[in-house]
Amino acid sequence: ETIIGLRHVLRDTRIYSFAAVTAVSVGALVTIRNLWIGPYLHDVFDLDIVARGNVIFAVSLTWIIAAILYGPLDRMFDTRRGVVTGGMLAFATMNALLAINGSNSVLVVTILLSGFALFAPIAPPIFAHARSLFPDTHSGRVFTAINVCTWSGVFLIQMGTGAILDAFPVDELGRSPAIAYRTMFVALAVGLLLALIIYRRLEDVPPSAEQDHSRSD
Protein backbone atom coordinates (compact mmCIF):
# COMPACT_ATOMS: atom_id res chain seq x y z
CA GLU A 1 0.00 0.00 0.00
CA THR A 2 2.85 2.37 0.86
CA ILE A 3 4.56 1.70 -2.46
CA ILE A 4 1.31 2.20 -4.36
CA GLY A 5 0.69 5.47 -2.54
CA LEU A 6 4.21 6.69 -3.23
CA ARG A 7 3.83 5.76 -6.88
CA HIS A 8 0.62 7.79 -7.01
CA VAL A 9 2.40 10.80 -5.50
CA LEU A 10 5.29 10.51 -7.95
CA ARG A 11 2.85 10.87 -10.85
CA ASP A 12 2.12 14.42 -9.70
CA THR A 13 4.53 16.70 -11.58
CA ARG A 14 4.41 19.29 -8.80
CA ILE A 15 6.63 16.98 -6.77
CA TYR A 16 9.48 17.52 -9.22
CA SER A 17 9.22 21.29 -9.01
CA PHE A 18 9.69 21.04 -5.26
CA ALA A 19 12.40 18.42 -5.71
CA ALA A 20 14.35 20.67 -8.08
CA VAL A 21 14.43 23.64 -5.75
CA THR A 22 15.26 21.59 -2.65
CA ALA A 23 17.89 19.48 -4.41
CA VAL A 24 19.81 22.49 -5.68
CA SER A 25 19.46 24.69 -2.59
CA VAL A 26 20.24 21.92 -0.09
CA GLY A 27 22.88 20.55 -2.45
CA ALA A 28 24.65 23.90 -2.71
CA LEU A 29 24.62 24.36 1.07
CA VAL A 30 25.79 20.85 1.94
CA THR A 31 28.40 20.81 -0.81
CA ILE A 32 30.04 24.07 0.20
CA ARG A 33 29.62 23.94 3.98
CA ASN A 34 30.49 20.25 4.41
CA LEU A 35 32.81 19.55 1.50
CA TRP A 36 34.56 22.51 -0.11
CA ILE A 37 34.70 25.41 2.34
CA GLY A 38 37.86 24.09 4.00
CA PRO A 39 39.78 23.39 0.79
CA TYR A 40 38.56 26.72 -0.65
CA LEU A 41 39.90 28.70 2.30
CA HIS A 42 43.17 26.77 2.22
CA ASP A 43 43.77 26.78 -1.53
CA VAL A 44 42.70 30.35 -2.32
CA PHE A 45 43.39 32.21 0.94
CA ASP A 46 46.18 30.02 2.38
CA LEU A 47 44.50 29.82 5.79
CA ASP A 48 45.77 27.35 8.36
CA ILE A 49 43.46 24.95 10.16
CA VAL A 50 42.74 27.34 13.06
CA ALA A 51 41.89 30.27 10.78
CA ARG A 52 39.71 28.02 8.64
CA GLY A 53 37.94 26.81 11.75
CA ASN A 54 37.19 30.39 12.80
CA VAL A 55 35.64 31.20 9.44
CA ILE A 56 33.64 27.97 9.37
CA PHE A 57 32.38 28.67 12.89
CA ALA A 58 31.10 32.10 11.82
CA VAL A 59 29.44 30.59 8.76
CA SER A 60 27.83 27.77 10.77
CA LEU A 61 26.55 30.19 13.42
CA THR A 62 25.00 32.36 10.71
CA TRP A 63 23.31 29.33 9.20
CA ILE A 64 21.80 28.31 12.56
CA ILE A 65 20.44 31.81 13.17
CA ALA A 66 19.09 32.03 9.62
CA ALA A 67 17.29 28.70 9.95
CA ILE A 68 15.38 30.15 12.91
CA LEU A 69 14.65 33.45 11.17
CA TYR A 70 13.23 31.80 8.04
CA GLY A 71 10.42 30.17 10.04
CA PRO A 72 7.97 33.08 10.46
CA LEU A 73 8.69 34.84 7.16
CA ASP A 74 5.85 33.20 5.23
CA ARG A 75 3.32 34.41 7.81
CA MET A 76 4.97 37.82 8.02
CA PHE A 77 4.72 38.40 4.25
CA ASP A 78 1.71 36.10 3.71
CA THR A 79 3.41 34.18 0.92
CA ARG A 80 5.41 30.97 0.79
CA ARG A 81 6.40 31.07 -2.84
CA GLY A 82 7.53 34.67 -2.41
CA VAL A 83 9.76 33.80 0.55
CA VAL A 84 11.34 30.92 -1.35
CA THR A 85 11.79 33.07 -4.45
CA GLY A 86 13.48 35.86 -2.50
CA GLY A 87 15.69 33.39 -0.66
CA MET A 88 16.73 31.62 -3.85
CA LEU A 89 17.55 34.89 -5.61
CA ALA A 90 19.61 36.07 -2.64
CA PHE A 91 21.33 32.68 -2.37
CA ALA A 92 22.20 32.73 -6.08
CA THR A 93 23.50 36.30 -5.69
CA MET A 94 25.85 35.26 -2.86
CA ASN A 95 27.21 32.45 -5.02
CA ALA A 96 27.76 34.95 -7.84
CA LEU A 97 29.55 37.36 -5.48
CA LEU A 98 31.82 34.55 -4.29
CA ALA A 99 32.52 33.75 -7.94
CA ILE A 100 33.65 37.29 -8.77
CA ASN A 101 35.38 38.02 -5.47
CA GLY A 102 38.96 39.01 -6.23
CA SER A 103 39.88 40.14 -2.73
CA ASN A 104 42.41 38.27 -0.62
CA SER A 105 40.83 39.65 2.55
CA VAL A 106 39.79 37.04 5.09
CA LEU A 107 37.17 39.46 6.42
CA VAL A 108 35.61 39.88 2.97
CA VAL A 109 35.39 36.15 2.28
CA THR A 110 34.02 35.55 5.79
CA ILE A 111 31.26 38.09 5.14
CA LEU A 112 30.48 36.56 1.74
CA LEU A 113 30.39 33.00 3.08
CA SER A 114 28.25 34.14 6.01
CA GLY A 115 25.90 35.77 3.51
CA PHE A 116 25.87 32.45 1.65
CA ALA A 117 24.81 30.72 4.88
CA LEU A 118 22.29 33.44 5.73
CA PHE A 119 20.13 32.69 2.69
CA ALA A 120 20.84 28.96 2.41
CA PRO A 121 18.28 27.32 4.77
CA ILE A 122 15.35 27.63 2.38
CA ALA A 123 14.08 24.07 2.89
CA PRO A 124 11.55 24.79 5.70
CA PRO A 125 9.44 27.27 3.67
CA ILE A 126 9.69 24.94 0.66
CA PHE A 127 8.27 22.03 2.66
CA ALA A 128 5.62 24.32 4.15
CA HIS A 129 4.62 25.25 0.61
CA ALA A 130 4.48 21.59 -0.38
CA ARG A 131 2.31 20.76 2.62
CA SER A 132 -0.14 23.51 1.65
CA LEU A 133 -0.68 22.05 -1.84
CA PHE A 134 -1.30 18.42 -0.87
CA PRO A 135 -3.90 16.87 1.44
CA ASP A 136 -2.72 15.90 4.92
CA THR A 137 -3.25 12.22 4.09
CA HIS A 138 -0.52 12.47 1.44
CA SER A 139 1.95 14.70 3.29
CA GLY A 140 4.18 11.88 4.53
CA ARG A 141 4.54 10.38 1.06
CA VAL A 142 5.05 13.81 -0.48
CA PHE A 143 7.85 14.65 1.94
CA THR A 144 9.43 11.23 1.41
CA ALA A 145 9.40 11.66 -2.37
CA ILE A 146 10.88 15.16 -2.14
CA ASN A 147 13.57 14.00 0.28
CA VAL A 148 14.59 11.10 -1.95
CA CYS A 149 14.94 13.46 -4.92
CA THR A 150 16.69 16.06 -2.77
CA TRP A 151 19.45 13.82 -1.47
CA SER A 152 19.92 12.26 -4.87
CA GLY A 153 20.45 15.80 -6.12
CA VAL A 154 22.91 16.51 -3.30
CA PHE A 155 24.96 13.51 -4.40
CA LEU A 156 24.96 14.68 -8.02
CA ILE A 157 25.94 18.24 -7.07
CA GLN A 158 28.84 16.99 -4.98
CA MET A 159 29.98 14.83 -7.87
CA GLY A 160 29.56 17.71 -10.31
CA THR A 161 31.48 20.25 -8.24
CA GLY A 162 34.24 17.72 -7.74
CA ALA A 163 34.44 17.25 -11.50
CA ILE A 164 34.68 21.03 -11.97
CA LEU A 165 37.61 21.30 -9.56
CA ASP A 166 39.30 18.27 -11.11
CA ALA A 167 39.14 19.96 -14.51
CA PHE A 168 41.73 22.52 -13.39
CA PRO A 169 45.37 21.58 -12.75
CA VAL A 170 46.64 21.91 -9.19
CA ASP A 171 49.88 23.65 -8.24
CA GLU A 172 52.98 21.95 -6.86
CA LEU A 173 51.42 21.94 -3.37
CA GLY A 174 48.25 20.26 -4.60
CA ARG A 175 46.09 23.39 -4.34
CA SER A 176 43.31 24.06 -6.83
CA PRO A 177 43.43 27.53 -8.45
CA ALA A 178 40.98 30.30 -7.60
CA ILE A 179 39.40 30.04 -11.06
CA ALA A 180 38.32 26.47 -10.26
CA TYR A 181 36.35 27.60 -7.23
CA ARG A 182 34.97 30.61 -9.08
CA THR A 183 33.69 28.30 -11.80
CA MET A 184 32.09 26.12 -9.15
CA PHE A 185 30.26 29.08 -7.60
CA VAL A 186 29.07 30.20 -11.04
CA ALA A 187 27.68 26.72 -11.70
CA LEU A 188 25.85 26.75 -8.36
CA ALA A 189 24.40 30.21 -9.02
CA VAL A 190 23.12 29.13 -12.44
CA GLY A 191 21.70 25.92 -10.98
CA LEU A 192 19.83 27.86 -8.30
CA LEU A 193 18.29 30.18 -10.88
CA LEU A 194 17.23 27.30 -13.13
CA ALA A 195 15.66 25.48 -10.18
CA LEU A 196 13.83 28.67 -9.23
CA ILE A 197 12.36 28.97 -12.73
CA ILE A 198 11.00 25.42 -12.41
CA TYR A 199 9.66 26.12 -8.92
CA ARG A 200 7.88 29.33 -9.92
CA ARG A 201 5.32 27.32 -11.91
CA LEU A 202 3.74 26.22 -8.63
CA GLU A 203 0.67 27.89 -7.18
CA ASP A 204 1.17 29.95 -4.04
CA VAL A 205 -1.07 29.29 -1.04
CA PRO A 206 -0.82 32.22 1.40
CA PRO A 207 -0.99 31.28 5.10
CA SER A 208 -3.94 33.66 5.49
CA ALA A 209 -5.94 31.61 2.97
CA GLU A 210 -5.40 28.47 5.05
CA GLN A 211 -6.50 30.28 8.20
CA ASP A 212 -9.66 31.53 6.49
CA HIS A 213 -10.41 28.02 5.25
CA SER A 214 -9.97 26.52 8.73
CA ARG A 215 -12.31 29.12 10.22
CA SER A 216 -14.98 28.36 7.61
CA ASP A 217 -14.75 24.68 8.49
Domain ranges of the chain: 2-211
Per-residue pLDDT of 61-119, as tens digits, reads 999 999 999 989 999 999 999 999 999 999 999 999 999 999 999 999 999 999 999 99
In this structure, of 86-90, 141-145, 192-196, the range with the lowest mean pLDDT score is 141-145
Per-residue pLDDT of 129-141, as tens digits, reads 999 998 887 888 8
| Secondary structure (H, E, C), the chain | CHHHHHHHHHCCCHHHHHHHHHHHHHHHHHHHHHHHHHHHHHHHHCCCHHHHHHHHHHHHHHHHHHHHHHCCHHHHHCCCHHHHHHHHHHHHHHHHHHHHCCCCCHHHHHHHHHHHHHHCCCHHHHHHHHHHHCCHHHHHHHHHHHHHHHHHHHHHHHHHHHHHHHCCCCCCCCCCCHHHHHHHHHHHHHHHHHHHHHHCCCCCCCHHHHHHHHHHC
Of the candidate CATH numbers 1.10.645.10, 1.20.120.1770, 3.40.640.10, 1.20.1250.20, the domain formed by 2-211 belongs to 1.20.1250.20
